[in-house]
């Protein structure tokens, strides 16, 4: 049997390269974490008083943070606020992203958002059952995609909602359209699938049941950036997506929720 013998210098060289590679990765990761922490603290300090208990989760996206910083560019900056309080929906998760980031190497490495610019900014607000229940005044809301209940199903502009309206002893189930018109979002019931048992109103009256699930709100009252671009159901939540499509000078306040 032919046996291959690897020269000791080659083994030593490979080991050295592995150590250097691991060290470079650790240094790069550490620098990114330091910058992300600085940005997170700046955003936290800029949050309204009632939201300062929420720690912003900041991610600076780049194949190599230090190399990207040297070039003065990042693919994007993503900031996620989990259970951030809002007046309309109660606690929700909001993710704000700046795309195609440019700035000085020093500002990127330091996590100074005030020194950075973005090609555009997007935001996604996730409204779970508790948030939708708050706006509809039902504490047992269930949200689902009427076409496909699997978690990987594509987002849809219509939703199945089930919940017990005030004055009823059993839930109703409806299908509703999710619409955006003139920067106002709407939940507009189209079909009643299950009628509730009610004492406050006629639960067999489709119009009365639909009224309990009807809701709308203008963008000025919502946690958005720029303009609303979609209002969809995905999985067991509703997602409100918005975008400022214009070049934007970043600052910590931009990533907060009023």
Between 61 and 99, residue with greater pLDDT: 99
* Cα–Cα nearest to 215, from 254, 176, 168: 176
Q: What is the DSSP letter of 50?
A: G
What is the tens place of the pLDDT at every residue in 60-76? Answer: 988 899 999 999 999 99
Domain ranges of the chain: 9-118, 129-242
Amino acid 26: pLDDT:
66
pLDDT at position 199 is 92
Tokens 């936290």 locate to 44
Is residue 248 within 8 Å of residue 98, measured between CB atoms?
yes
Q: Give the tens place of pLDDT for each residue, 175-234.
A: 999 999 999 999 999 999 999 999 999 999 999 999 999 999 999 999 999 999 999 999
Residues sharing a CB contact under 8 Å with residue 208, sequence separation 6 or more, in sequence order = 201, 202
pLDDT, one tens digit per residue, over 10-47 is: 454 444 544 434 555 567 888 999 999 999 999 999 99
Question: 167 pLDDT exceeds 50?
Answer: yes
The answer to whether the beta carbons of residues 193 and 173 sit under 8 Å apart is: yes
Closest CA to 102 of 133, 61, 65, 69: 69
The pair phi, psi for residue 35, each rounded to 5°, is: -65, -45
Give the whole-angstrom CA distance, residue 165 versus residue 12: 72
Whether the predicted model's global pTM rises above the 0.95 cut = no
Which residue(s) pair with 179 in the sheet?
A: 186
């Amino acid at each position: 049997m032919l046996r291959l013998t690897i020269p000791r210098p080659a083994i030593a060289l490979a080991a050295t390269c592995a150590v250097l590679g691991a060290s470079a990765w650790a240094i790069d990761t550490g620098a990114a974490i330091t910058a992300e922490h600085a940005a997170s603290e700046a955003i936290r300090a800029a949050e309204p008083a009632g939201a300062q208990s929420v720690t912003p989760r900041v991610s600076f996206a780049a194949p190599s943070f230090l190399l990207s910083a040297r070039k003065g560019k990042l693919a994007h900056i993503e900031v996620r606020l989990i259970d951030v309080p809002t007046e309309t929906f109660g606690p929700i998760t909001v993710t704000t992203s700046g795309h195609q980031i440019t700035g000085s190497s020093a500002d990127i490495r330091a996590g100074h958002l005030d020194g950075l610019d973005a090609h555009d900014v997007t935001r996604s607000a996730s409204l779970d059952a508790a948030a939708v229940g708050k706006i509809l005044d039902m504490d047992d809301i269930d949200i689902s995609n009427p076409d496909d209940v699997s978690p990987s199903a594509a987002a849809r502009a219509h939703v199945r909602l089930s919940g017990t309206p005030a004055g009823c002893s059993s839930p109703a189930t409806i299908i509703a359209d999710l619409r955006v018109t003139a920067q106002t979002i709407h939940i507009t019931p189209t079909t009643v699938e299950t009628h509730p048992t009610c004492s406050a109103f006629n639960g067999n009256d489709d119009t009365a049941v639909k009224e309990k699930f009807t809701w709308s709100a203008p963008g000025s009252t919502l946690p958005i950036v720029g303009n609303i671009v979609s209002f969809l159901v995905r999985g067991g939540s509703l997602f409100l997506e918005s975008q400022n499509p214009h070049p934007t000078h970043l600052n910590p306040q931009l990533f907060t929720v009023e």
